[in-house]
Amino acid sequence: MSDSTTTPKPAELAEVERANASGKQPVVLVHGLWLLDSSWDRWAAFFEDAGYTAVTPGWPDDPESIEDARSHPDVFAGKSVGDVAAYQQAIIERLDRKPAIIGHSFGGVLVQILAGRGLSAATCAISPAPSRGVLPLPVNALKAAAPVLANPANRARAITLTCDQFRFGFASSVDEQEAKELYEQFHVAGSGIPLFQAAFANVNPGSEVKARKKGEDRGPMLVLVGEEDHQAPPAIARATYKKQAKNQHSVTEFAEVPGRGHSITIDSGWQEVAQTCLDFFRKVGV
């Protein structure tokens, strides 16, 4: 691994220092493909208002702004799930208190991996991408991933979605105007590697897209999904829940939000989902 995949950026270290100095329960927010950590800004403020301290790490080499990301899309290429999990772990291990963690899409896989390593006090996996052992591959998920998976050379590239592709995969449950606004406000290029890793996880015993599920230290977990998600449909989330629910040591719950798609964390209904995660954390005492 390069230094960039193991060394947090100064802004992330500052967030960790601030969290440690606050003495409050930290909540770590992990984004997925095609978004930056700024996609969590409203969530961070929401949890801070609720008495937590928020940490919003990016992925290795993530640019600081949407503008920088669009000017230099190739910086996203070459980041695997294992790289990002190691990077997130390096940040979490600097916290004085074990955090609650929330992840969306591929972030929903990453938080399961981190929870399986005993790094989470409680976890919300939102619209998680499939991990090893999760078998359903719904047609909509395949169609949403097709812009990347259709060309094997995309594995080594950073892929930018068109507005129409973003609308199908992410913004399927909002109107056309909101879909366009979400695309313009949040979308950036994403590494091709994680999608190929997820697609072949069940035929690769050594896959990095694999979460330990039965450990005593996994902690409570909520798997949550939108009813109309195309990118990571409910069938994937339910199968994820069934795998995680085999943990005998901690509670595992499932929630499906009616009428919502993959943009569930960034669209106009984001606060309902944030409240669901907050209610779960409070329920399990975190």
pLDDT (tens digit per residue) in 182-208? 999 999 999 999 999 998 888 888 889
Tokens representing 152? 């094997």
- Residue 228 is predicted with a pLDDT of 96
What's the per-residue H, E or C state across 163-222?
Answer: HHHHHHHCCCCCCHHHHHHHHHHHCCCEECHHHHHHHCHHHCCCCCCCCCCCCCCCCCEE
Average pLDDT over residues 24-41: 98
Average pLDDT over residues 30-37: 97
Q: pLDDT for 258-286, tens place per residue?
A: 999 999 999 999 999 999 999 999 999 99
Mean residue pLDDT across the chain = 94
Q: Is the pLDDT of residue 4 over 60?
A: no
What is the sign of the dihedral through the CA atoms of 31, 63, 94 and 83? Answer: positive
Smallest CA-to-CA distance from 22 within 85, 95, 78, 127 is with 95
- The reply to whether the predicted model has a pTM over 0.85 is yes
CA dihedral 189, 207, 262, 134 (to 10 degrees): 160
- Residue 2 is predicted with a pLDDT of 43
- Residue 138 is predicted with a pLDDT of 87
- Residue 200 is predicted with a pLDDT of 87
- Residue 5 is predicted with a pLDDT of 59
* Contact of 246 with 214, CB cutoff 8 Å: yes
Average pLDDT over residues 87-114: 97
Alpha carbon distance, N-terminus to C-terminus of the chain? 34
